[in-house]
Amino acid sequence: IGSKYEVTLERTKEDKPIKKMSVFGSVKMEDVLNNRLEKPLDRRSFGKFCKKLFCEDQLEFVLTIMLFKEVRPTGVQYREAVASIRDQYIEPGSCREANISSVLRRKQLRGIKRTLEEGKDDMEIFDQTYREIFNLLKWNVFHKFEKETVLYKCVVDARSSMLWCCYRAQTPNCMAFFSVPEPTNVAHYRLYRLVASILGSVALALYYLHEEKHMAYYCLFANFLGLLLRSICGPRLDPFSVLVILVLEPIVRTFNILETKFVSNKARRWGEAMSCVWTLGTIVGVW
């Protein structure tokens, strides 16, 4: 921008093929442009894709305006930046002429001329042109990049899975009924472990401190049953899921005790099954 900054895309002779990335949820072009995602959904990969479609100049304009708003030049630097952007992208026949309508181009040139004559530092001077090119990139380029790069995976939500009678779309068939939530809510996972630890501690205390040892077996069996049901069909039939998802999680979220984040955990069913086997072994061992 002006004499201090310049946005350019790396131009290589030969690009490696883009591999697909499994994604839960949705990918936004804003995240790609701000370089918040990893390869192959980073800004450089998107730039290489734009180069293949001969529209890298449009991407360079969008990135230039983003940098212009981030730097927020003033005074002489502002006038140099605006004049440089005008000469490179707005003027007819410029080296990186933006793909915009003739009406918008004339309007943009008049606005730039008026702003430079008045000496104002208007940071929104390019907003209309930016929106038009941004939408052009989004609908004509980014969706193709998304289709080639992203492999969307179905999100199995824990709350709607637990209330499967109300959310029938989550369980359209028997196979879906026996699925586990993916990605895993870390807060749910830790709360399940907290409940299991409390039940185990209560069972241990009852076994050694209470004469009626059958109460300890009830606690261990309840823990075993919850683990078994979660390993088979997730939270759909597990009574502890009602406690964790409808009671404990809202409390945790209200007081900001645990950070709610999601991770892909393909081995969760195996982990629940191993915990179930270990609990069963404990029951048999103390019988």
pLDDT score of 264: 66
Helix, coil or strand: residue 199 = helix
Whether residue 240 contacts residue 195, with contact meaning beta carbons closer than 8 Å, is answered with: yes
Q: How many residues does the chain have?
A: 287
pLDDT score of 158: 67
What backbone torsions phi and psi does residue 184 show, to the nearest 5 degrees? -85, 130
Question: How far is the first Cα of the chain from the last one, in angstroms, to the nearest whole number?
Answer: 77
Listed in sequence order, the residues at least 6 apart from 266 whose beta carbon sits closer than 8 Å to its beta carbon are: 182
| Whole-prediction pTM | 0.51
What DSSP string describes 226-260?
A: HHHHHHHHTTSS-HHHIIIIIIIHHHHHHHT-S--
pLDDT in tens, the chain (287 residues): 433 444 444 444 444 545 555 555 677 888 888 888 777 788 888 888 888 888 888 899 999 999 898 888 888 888 888 889 888 888 888 888 888 888 988 998 999 898 888 888 888 888 889 999 999 888 888 888 888 777 555 445 666 666 666 665 555 566 777 777 766 778 888 888 899 889 888 888 888 887 667 888 888 889 899 888 888 888 888 888 888 888 888 888 788 777 666 666 667 788 888 888 888 888 887 77
Give the containing element (helix H, strand E) for 190: helix 186-209
pLDDT score of 25: 60
pLDDT score of 276: 86
